[in-house]
Structure 1
Amino acid sequence: MARMIAPTRSNLMRLTEELSFSRSGHELLDQKRSILVVELLTLVDQAADYQNRVDQALSEASQALQDSVMDMGRLTVGNLAGAVNISASIEVGERRVMGVRLPRVETTFSDKGPYFSAEGTSLRSEIAISKYRDALKLMGRMAELKVSIMRLAREVKKTIRKVNALEKILIPETQEALALTKSRIEEAERENFVLMKNVKDRLERVTTMDKTLAT
């Protein structure tokens, strides 16, 4: 249903500007939606790859730990674990994609090895430590991807709603109001033209009559 607007030239100009602005906004939002969708799909593919890598890394780390236990015994491995001096630092930054803030997760490790004497220990213990460290780093990247995907998906939904509102509601309503206002202005101008023509004709007849009476 078209908006009821007074059929004036100023309103016609305002509606024309509003329609132009809405179309520009629709074009920009549509471009934003496309860029966000491409970024979202890229991150989804990366997340699927990283999920496999995390699963594989955890499986390898678990297997390495079991190998250590089988080689040295659970008690020895437990004692060695208490001697491991590794601290993990997770730094969270951000990047922006079309105004959407996405996290950057960087995992770093600080250790003061060797943690224990090599005598009486197995290389498998070192392998297990390395495997778990690799898995933790991958998990940090996986967390970054999952949060980014959630934020992008939310923004894509919002952008799609805005695009649809412009495309299906605001722009059609403005077009209809513009066409109706233009039509009413043209109709009023035609009526004024006919009215002025009638007035002119009457004035001419009166003038002719006055001249006739004068003679």
Structure 2
Amino acid sequence: MRNLAPTKSNLLSVQDELKFAKLGYELLDQKRNILVLELLNLVDQASDFEEKVEHSLASAYTALQDATLDMGRLRVQQLSRAVNMSCDINLKDRRVMGVQLPVVQTQFDDQPPYYSPSETSFRVDGAMQGFKEALELMGRLAELKISIMRLATEVKKTIRKVNALEKIAIPDLNETVDFIRNRLEENERDMFILMKMVKERLERKKEETSHDGNS
């Protein structure tokens, strides 16, 4: 409880603080719920994308191994130098309840390879496509994991603020309001009793004066 003088102005001030604290608690509680829902959604997505990445990499490496068995390691290495491909990874961001989350966009500039398809195992194309898919999925997985870490950090901060308002600030303000209100009511009762005593004394004094004058 705050150590404040029991005055009406202090009562109004603390009541305003209490209203603001309750509003802040409601908003933070809503923010916490939204962040938790978004966090759980991203965790589910991340789990799915981890499986997709593992499957895509496994398929790409299998296709590369099969191509190596068909054509030989030296021939596959020669073909790898003929691949004309570039990859751009662009980073953007989005916001969820004020939290900045990354958005990873993977783009490929894929030119036709400089080798003859007729002299090349089809598994080479399969391996190339598999590694492209894996790289794109890995970018998305990185986006999800970073988003999860940032959201988890913000959820912890929000929970601490909600708990501080719920368990400390609001009860303290409620106690202060009750204390000031009770003291004001006591003061009013004391003042009423005092005024009543003064009035009765004045009336007795008036009666005594009137009696003395009549005598």
TM over 0.5: yes
**Residue matched to 1:76:** 75
How far apart, in 2, do the equivalents of 1:120 and 1:99 lie?
55
List per-residue Cα deviations over 1:45-77 (Å, max 9, x = no partner). 000000000000011111111111101110111
Shift of 1:27: 0.8
Shift of 1:14: 1.2
How far apart, in 2, do the equivalents of 1:155 and 1:92 lie?
21
**Residue matched to 1:45:** 44
Structure 1 residue identity aligned to 2:35: L
How far apart, in 2, do the equivalents of 1:15 and 1:114 lie?
74
1:1-215 map, 5 Å: 2-215=1-214
- What SS does the corresponding residue of 1:179 show, helix, strand or coil? helix
How far apart, in 1, do the equivalents of 2:86 and 2:165 lie?
52
How far apart, in 2, do the equivalents of 1:120 and 1:15 lie?
84
- What SS does the corresponding residue of 2:63 show, helix, strand or coil? helix
How far apart, in 1, do the equivalents of 2:130 and 2:114 lie?
16
Shift of 1:197: 1.0
Structure 2 residue identity aligned to 1:156: V
Structure 1 residue identity aligned to 2:177: L
How far apart, in 2, do the equivalents of 1:93 and 1:57 lie?
25
- What SS does the corresponding residue of 1:135 show, helix, strand or coil? helix
List per-residue Cα deviations over 1:150-200 (Å, max 9, x = no partner). 111001000000000000000011111111110011001111111111111
Kept in 1, the 8 Å contact 2:70–2:121? The answer is yes
List per-residue Cα deviations over 1:121-157 (Å, max 9, x = no partner). 2111111111100100000100110011011100100
How far apart, in 2, do the equivalents of 1:113 and 1:120 lie?
15
- What SS does the corresponding residue of 1:6 show, helix, strand or coil? coil
Shift of 1:119: 4.0
How far apart, in 1, do the equivalents of 2:162 and 2:117 lie?
65
RMSD, aligned CA: 1.0
Structure 1 residue identity aligned to 2:65: Q
List per-residue Cα deviations over 1:7-66 (Å, max 9, x = no partner). 011111111111111111111111111111011000000000000000000111111111
How far apart, in 2, do the equivalents of 1:200 and 1:118 lie?
115
Shift of 1:118: 2.3
How far apart, in 1, do the equivalents of 2:180 and 2:3 lie?
9
Shift of 1:205: 1.4
Count of residue correspondences: 214
So what's the TM-score if we normalise by structure 2? 0.97
- What SS does the corresponding residue of 1:87 show, helix, strand or coil? strand
Identity rate, percent: 55
- What SS does the corresponding residue of 1:194 show, helix, strand or coil? helix
- What SS does the corresponding residue of 1:5 show, helix, strand or coil? coil
- What SS does the corresponding residue of 2:119 show, helix, strand or coil? coil
Shift of 1:115: 2.8
Q: Which runs of 4+ in 1 moved over 6 A?
A: none
Kept in 1, the 8 Å contact 2:56–2:131? The answer is yes
Structure 2 residue identity aligned to 1:183: N
